[in-house]
Amino acid sequence: MSYRADITIIGAGVIGLAIASQVTKEGREVYLLEKNETFGQEQSSRNSEVIHAGIYYERDSLKAKMCLEGNGLLYELCEKNGIAYQKCGKIIVATNHVEAEELEKLYRRGKGNGVQLKMLSLREMDQLEPNIRGVAAFLSPSTGIVDSYALMRCFLGKARDNGAQIVYKTKVIGIEKVLGGYEVRVEEPPGDFSFMTRVLINCAGLYSDKVAEMAGINIDEANYNLHWRKGEYYSVSGGKNKLINRLIYPVPVGINLGVHVCFDINWRLRLGPLFYHVNEISYKVDDSRKKAFLESSIMEALPCIKPSDLDPETSGIMAMLPRERESFRDFIIRHEYDRGLPGLISLVGIESPGLTSSPAIARYVSHLVNEILES
């Protein structure tokens, strides 16, 4: 083991790429290690591509702060770098009076988080979206959509321009604390290879709990165990995309945002994601769950969409800290010095709104890195 890096980032999803674009500075040796053949093959390319506004999350939580800051930074980044986006706005709609009470609470939470929102009269709702049905609704003008692939390419380009080395087909299989940093063992066909790094950043997404454990963290005690939830999407055909002008969401039940209207940058319409717990990775969409789709509140809000318009499409798997039916858990982003692991930064449970938060998380982590390297 003779090679020594300053900063090593594990995982080239949107979070690892965003961090790599921020922490690379002149004279720093930065490595981004990715087990797959290329970047962004897991959560970061299998999501709703929504630029969230910051409505849902507990006040003063990292999720609320990172999402709100990320929302502004992301629009700026898209504008400056020619990344396709649309600030199309979204409407959250209640389809009955019980939901209307929850909608009111959500509106107050969003306002409390500093998000610009507008409660709509039924007339305004009808003017904005003549094809939705509901008893109450509010508008979030700062919600939008982004081309997530183009966003990742932008972070990748910036990281490379700043001198970061991106290494694919390289899986981290061992981490040992040594004097002045970490010895990182990687599986790099045809064999294994070890090197030393001063700072190690764990952005391993679905596997970030396992990587934390590899580094010596007791993940049961730290409460870092991840639970995988698969979210399935259905494409909507029949020209229904022309009947809807913005993203439409139901009132959430528990921590799930609920099956909602998604548009990609070409205004292709999908509904999803319908989430359920899984133990293994398979992105096949199980058509037997179509019934649950048809019973979801969004179908009541959108009578223009008929069951025959829906076809199984894609899915994504989310790395969640809460178990099913557990309540809110915040992002974990921390320097692990108090666990006897100085120089190790953990990012665990970076689920939605992780895509939106990526530029803000990168700034936050960059401050932690500067503190470590300048101490």
Ligand X SMILES: Cc1cc2nc3c(=O)[nH]c(=O)nc-3n(C[C@H](O)[C@H](O)[C@H](O)COP(=O)(O)OP(=O)(O)OC[C@H]3O[C@@H](n4cnc5c(N)ncnc54)[C@H](O)[C@@H]3O)c2cc1C
CB nearer to ligand X: pick between 136 and 345: 345
* Residue 126 C-beta: closest distance to ligand X, Å: 27
* Residue 4 C-beta: closest distance to ligand X, Å: 19
CB nearer to ligand X: pick between 33 and 125: 33
* Residue 209 C-beta: closest distance to ligand X, Å: 10
CB nearer to ligand X: pick between 55 and 136: 55
* Residue 356 C-beta: closest distance to ligand X, Å: 4
CB nearer to ligand X: pick between 206 and 360: 206
Which is it for the CA torsion 274, 278, 281, 285, positive or negative? negative
User: Could you write out the DSSP letters of every residue in 140-192?
Assistant: ETT-EEE-HHHHHHHHHHHHHHTT-EEE-S-EEEEEEEETTEEEEEEEETTEE
Look up residue 68 and give its DSSP letter.
H
Which residue, among 361, 351, 358, 345, has the nearest Cα to 329 in the 3D structure? 351
Provide the 3-class DSSP secondary structure of residue 9: strand
Please state, in angstroms and as integers, the Cα–Cα distance from residue 247 to each residue in 141, 159, 324, following that order.
10, 32, 26
CB nearer to ligand X: pick between 49 and 147: 49
CB nearer to ligand X: pick between 297 and 356: 356
Integer Cα distance of 169 and 108 in angstroms = 46
CB nearer to ligand X: pick between 71 and 297: 71
* Residue 73 C-beta: closest distance to ligand X, Å: 12
CB nearer to ligand X: pick between 205 and 359: 205
Residue type, 66: M
Which residue, among 152, 151, 148, 155, has the nearest Cα to 47 in the 3D structure? 148
* Sheet of strand 310-320: strand arrangement: 260-263, 269-278, 227-236, 310-320
Integer Cα distance of 125 and 182 in angstroms = 56
Return residues touching ligand X (CB under 6 A): 10-16, 33-36, 41-44, 46-50, 52, 171-172, 203-207, 211, 231, 273, 316-318, 350-356
* Residue 92 C-beta: closest distance to ligand X, Å: 14
* Residue 319 C-beta: closest distance to ligand X, Å: 7
* Residue 275 C-beta: closest distance to ligand X, Å: 8
Please, are residues 330 and 63 in contact by the beta-carbon 8 Å criterion? yes
Displacement of CA 25 from its chain's centroid (Å): 26
CB atoms within 10 A of CB 219: 18
